[in-house]
A and B are shown apart, each in its own frame.
Chain A
Amino acid sequence: MTRKKWSWFTVVNYVVLSLLIIVCLVPIMHVIATSLSEKLEAVSGNVGIWPKGFNLEAYRYVMEDAQFWKALSVTLLRVAIGVPINILLVILTAYPLSKANNRFHGRTVFSWFFVFTMLFNGGMIPGYIVINKLGLLNSIWALTLPGAMNVSYMILMMNFFRGIPTEIEEAAVIDGANQAQVLFRIYLPMSLPSLATIILFATVANWNVWMDGFLYMNTPDKYPLQTYLATLLMESKGNVETLMTPEQLARMEMISEKTIEAAQIFLAALPIMCVYPFLQKYYIKGIVVGSVKG
């Protein structure tokens, strides 16, 4: 090994990667710094990645803002309702479909039934009409039910179930267990790490999505947190502006102040950042199992 070339390569490599790390961190630090800065300093663009005139005024404002708490409670509710429904449906469908074709003769047909929904979709407008017809508009169910049967999670869970030896199921059946017992007493306890992965996937997805709240909620006070944040940031608010009362519009003007906006951006991301080490670990496992193995 030629030592000189090796070290050149390493130096360049470290420099490039370090620069990239800085480029990725600066925007996030800038938002945090802005949220902690003096209003005037933020507006006049003096804030870089360190707060100028450190204060917690913006956070105090957000904490006293009823709308923010309202939006947070909608998000918490959608996670509390949406994730369990999501997981239950995924488990119940993944289990039968994890069986071999000669153990469950309907397997191929039902697999295609579900996979087809990944290949083709009705799109935004017919989806909206269906939800409208069901009378779900403006209710928490419009946020929790439409995406509940998630086929990619189902496929992931199915692959995990497939890894469990069939002898275990056979032994349980001989001992008199029915299929529900096999699933909930044997398969699920054996696949807790995989279950955790899918619960995390579903929770993050429920926390982060903003589009559905924007489409299906008629009044801004029913918005989940991310939708609320998104409408604060949007320049073309589409149909939202027409739905708002003059007071709501006036409020929106006021809270679009830089420091307050930054504080809300940071707060909306905070829970995710707090559990990020966890997420990273489980996601890496899920991604690698889901993709590399095929």
Chain B
Amino acid sequence: MAQKTVKPLGLSKKKGIFKRELPFYLMLIPGVLFALVFSYGPMFGLVMAFQDFTPLKSFENSPWVGFENFRMMLQLPTFWPVVRNTLVISLSKIVLRLLVPLVIALLLNEVLHEKFKRVAQTVFFLPYFLSWAVMGGILRSLFEYDGLVNSVLMSMGMERIMFLGSNTWFPIIIILSDVWKDMGYNMIIFLAAITNVDPALHESAALDGANRWQQIWNITLPTIRPIVVMLLVLSLGSVLSAGLDQVMLLYNPMVYESGDIIDTLVYRLGLVNHQWSLSAALGLMKSVISFILVVLSYRVATKHFDYQVF
């Protein structure tokens, strides 16, 4: 008898939980549907990397070819140069995107003139809000053959340089303009972290005769080091993303040698040459490596820096 009464009670309790949480499930439905279609959909679409896919035949009817596309990918004469370009550009971006804002934040923090500080911060943060289309236009007007920089060079009696057609200059312009555009973001983070440093530390250091450099080096930097390292770790996932919407605007066949990156190659192979499966294979390789790097970096960040994904 006792067992008989316990069972329905347990059931109704479970039912109660479900009923109580039902609204939460209902609220999640639209978001789940969107994620399924637009995020998980393309993931399942990656099967095309193992097929000889054509849009007409679609996923069901395209013949399976195993790893053929990956073999072809490795044999592309552009494959290794493109990987190298991607790594060179993205690694330089990752490092400079931390170093430059860090230096600027340290300098800004030493500014006593509030108004100057505000003006500087406003100017440095502005490009972050401009689109790459606008930034691309600005860069072009600076660096094209009859652009501002060449006018200045000419007036100083120097030769014009084909910046956007030169394999030496192109990656440099890509890297530096990216740092310029986005440095404001990390600058804000670093400034916030620096202002959290206990002023008492600076006061006692000043009493002990430490100058500004010594204070920056021995107090400010060590206290914000964790956040710098954490941001570095978290940016690992973007090692294979060298900036599609930036490079695509500025590159041209003359600088493919130094400026063609994985994403632009995926675009050209797929949407220009219609080698759907080959470009999907290249994209899949990128996604898998990025995934491993992101998971690793989140692991390290949660373990050592109290970072929470959600």
Known A122-B287, A123-B46, A179-B27; contact A265-B107, beta-carbon cutoff 8 A: no
Digit string of A238-269 for contact with B (CB within 8 Å is 1, else 0)? 11000000000000000000100110110011
CA distance A103 to B189 in the complex (A): 33
Give the dominant DSSP class at B's interface: helix
In chain B, positions 131-148 with a C-beta closer than 8 Å to chain A are 131-134, 136-142, 146-148
Q: Which A residues form the contact surface with B (CB < 8 A)? A: 1-2, 5-6, 9-10, 13-14, 16-17, 20-21, 24-28, 30-31, 34, 43-48, 88-89, 92-93, 95-97, 99, 103-106, 110-111, 113-115, 117-130, 132-134, 145-149, 151, 154-155, 158, 178-180, 183, 204, 207-211, 215, 226-227, 229-230, 233-236, 238-239, 258, 261-262, 264-265, 268-269, 272-273, 276, 279-280, 283-284, 287-288, 291-292, 294
Q: Does B245 contact A (CB under 8 A)?
A: yes
Return the contact of B45 from the options A111, A113, A122, A155 (Cβ within 8 A). A122
Residues of A within 8 A of B40 (CB): 117
Looking at the assembled complex, report how far the CB atom of A37 sits from the nearest CB atom of chain B, in whole angstroms.
12
Q: Which B residues form the contact surface with A (CB < 8 A)? A: 17, 21, 23-25, 27-28, 30-32, 34-35, 37-46, 48, 55, 58, 104, 107-108, 110-112, 116, 119-120, 122-127, 129-134, 136-142, 146-148, 150-151, 154, 164, 180, 185, 188-189, 192-193, 196, 206, 209, 211-213, 227, 231, 237, 244-245, 248-249, 251-253, 263, 266-268, 270-272, 276, 279-280, 283-284, 286-287, 290-291, 294-295, 298, 305-310
Chain A: CB-nearest residue to B53? A129
Q: Which 9 A-B pairs have the closest CB atoms?
A: A122-B42, A126-B45, A123-B283, A208-B131, A96-B24, A179-B23, A265-B137, A93-B31, A117-B39
Residues of A within 8 A of B42 (CB): 121-123, 126-127, 129-130
> Is B134 touching A265 in the complex (CB atoms < 8 A)?
yes
> Is A230 touching B133 in the complex (CB atoms < 8 A)?
yes
Known A24-B123, A128-B271; contact A6-B212, beta-carbon cutoff 8 A: yes
Chain A: CB-nearest residue to B41? A130
Known A119-B291, A130-B37, A149-B34; contact A6-B211, beta-carbon cutoff 8 A: yes
Looking at the assembled complex, report how far the CB atom of A196 sits from the nearest CB atom of chain B, in whole angstroms.
16
B39, B279, B298: residue with the most chain A Cβ atoms closer than 10 Å:
B39
Known A14-B116, A276-B126; contact A123-B284, beta-carbon cutoff 8 A: yes
Looking at the assembled complex, report how far the CB atom of B234 sits from the nearest CB atom of chain A, in whole angstroms.
9
What number of residue pairs across chains A and B have CB atoms under 8 A from each other?
Answer: 304
> Is A124 touching B263 in the complex (CB atoms < 8 A)?
yes
Looking at the assembled complex, report how far the CB atom of A95 sits from the nearest CB atom of chain B, in whole angstroms.
6
> Is B131 touching A268 in the complex (CB atoms < 8 A)?
yes
Residues of A within 8 A of B107 (CB): 13, 16-17
Known A21-B119, A96-B27; contact A236-B252, beta-carbon cutoff 8 A: yes
> Is A130 touching B119 in the complex (CB atoms < 8 A)?
no
Residues of B within 8 A of A134 (CB): 37
Return the contact of A125 from the options B130, B196, B283 (Cβ within 8 A). B283
Chain B: CB-nearest residue to A280? B125
> Is A204 touching B272 in the complex (CB atoms < 8 A)?
no
List 19 other contacts, CB 8 Å, given A123-B280, A292-B196: A24-B180, A27-B148, A88-B30, A92-B27, A93-B31, A117-B35, A117-B40, A126-B43, A126-B44, A127-B45, A130-B45, A149-B34, A211-B248, A238-B268, A264-B137, A268-B131, A280-B122, A292-B192, A292-B193
